[in-house]
Structure 1
Amino acid sequence: MSRTIMIVGNGPVQDGAASVIDAADLVIRVNDCRSCGAGGEKTDIVAVCNTGRPALAMLGGGQWKSNAAVRQAREIWCVRAAEKFRELRPQIEDRHPVLDDLCDDYTDGFRAFAKATGRAFHTVPASTHESVDTELGYFHSGEYVVPSSGLIVIAEVLAHWRQPGDRVVLAGFGHAGWEWHPFAAERRYVDALISRGRLIRLDQNYLSAFAQGA
């Protein structure tokens, strides 16, 4: 059977989207899951940035671990492959010394959390990151440090998780945030995937079609 896979970022979500998101067969949220609420509650997978300060903040203090979305997720993904970030470390430390901790890897901490709480665990392979870098080069990305976690999740779902007939729907992707993600190029890349029929944006047209049972 075909599925609806909903990838929900942490940007603004359309009014009325919550019930549509919660009706999806699979819902993937990112990092601290700020999309919950206006973006529904259902969470099957939480995909995290597992390097640098964001990872350290999520693993420390207990706030992320007690997040309602994280508590209900049955699977944790780490979006950054350790070997890729070992490779990137000299380049990042040379060009962006203020980001000297960006490549510090906390995959083991997330793996231990998943094991201790009975969740499945997955690390996105370096090949997914590398394919995203290649694709972004076609969209005039300019200089950037790394793609956003959300874009890596999109690429991973399309490459390894989407089955024939599945619909992959995006909500909460504003393509804005940290200055060293190539958000303008990411938007163009996502728009190209939409034009090829590989992705759908959850917009007013999608909401109207859902309401009509399409």
Structure 2
Amino acid sequence: MPRSIVIVGNGAVPEGLAGTIDAADLVIRFNGCRSAGPGGTKTDIVAVCNTGRPALEMLAGGRWKASATVRQAREIWCVRTAEMFAAMRAPLAVSHPDLGDFCDDYTAGFQAFASVTGRRLAIVPAEVHRRLDLSLAAFVPEPYVVPSSGLIVIAHVLENIAAAGDRVSLAGFGHEGWQWHPFAAERRWVEERIAAGRLDRLHPPA
């Protein structure tokens, strides 16, 4: 049977979508799952930024691990591969010296948490990131460091998770945030796939 897959970003979610999101077959959220509440509560997968300060903050203490969304998730996805980010360290030290800890990898910490709590841990393949960089080049982005975790997960779902007939929907994606993500190009990438019928954005019921 075709599935409904909803990817919920950490941006604003319009009122009236909580029920639609919670009724989906598969719901994916990010990091601290700020979308939970107005964006429903169901959480099957939490995709995490597993390098740098965001990863360190999630793993430190127990607040993230004990949150209601993380507790119900059956899978944790790491969106970055250690090898790819290790290769980025030296170039970034020259181009972005203020990002000294950006490539610090904490995948082992998420793996340990998943193992202890009986969850599956998966790492988004590096090839998804590489192909995404090539695709984004068509939109002539301003200089950037990496695509956002949200876009990497969208690309991963379209390439490797969604089957023929599945509906993949987005909510909570404003395409804005950290200055070193190529958000203008990301928006165009998403809109191109919406126009092709591969994605849609959820809207509140009339």
Aligned to 1:157: 157
Aligned to 2:106: 106
Moved over 2 A (4+): none
Q: 5+ residue gaps in structure 2?
A: none
How far the C-alpha of 1:10 sits from its partner, in A, is 0.3
Q: 5+ residue gaps in structure 1?
A: 209-214
**Cα distance between partner residues in 2 of 1:91 and 1:128:** 21
Corresponding position: 1:27 with 2:6: no
Q: Quote the RMSD (CA, aligned, Å).
A: 0.7
Matching of residues 51-200 of structure 1 within 5 Å:
51-200=51-200
**Cα distance between partner residues in 1 of 2:135 and 2:164:** 22
**Cα distance between partner residues in 2 of 1:181 and 1:203:** 25
Amino acid at match of 1:18: A
**Cα distance between partner residues in 2 of 1:66 and 1:136:** 36
| Matched residue SS, 1:77 | strand
Deviations 1:52-105 (A, max 9, x none): 000000000211111110010000000001111011111111100000100000
User: What is the identity percentage for the equivalent residue pairs of Structure 1 and Structure 2?
Assistant: 63
| Matched residue SS, 2:134 | helix
**Cα distance between partner residues in 2 of 1:79 and 1:94:** 24
Aligned to 2:10: 10
How far the C-alpha of 1:180 sits from its partner, in A, is 0.6
**Cα distance between partner residues in 2 of 1:20 and 1:189:** 25
How far the C-alpha of 1:203 sits from its partner, in A, is 2.1
Amino acid at match of 1:32: G
Amino acid at match of 1:112: A
Amino acid at match of 2:155: A
**Cα distance between partner residues in 2 of 1:87 and 1:159:** 24
**Cα distance between partner residues in 2 of 1:125 and 1:87:** 15
Aligned to 1:36: 36
| Matched residue SS, 2:5 | strand
How far the C-alpha of 1:15 sits from its partner, in A, is 1.0
Deviations 1:166-203 (A, max 9, x none): 00000000101111111111001000010111101012
**Cα distance between partner residues in 2 of 1:20 and 1:103:** 37
**Cα distance between partner residues in 1 of 2:79 and 2:44:** 16
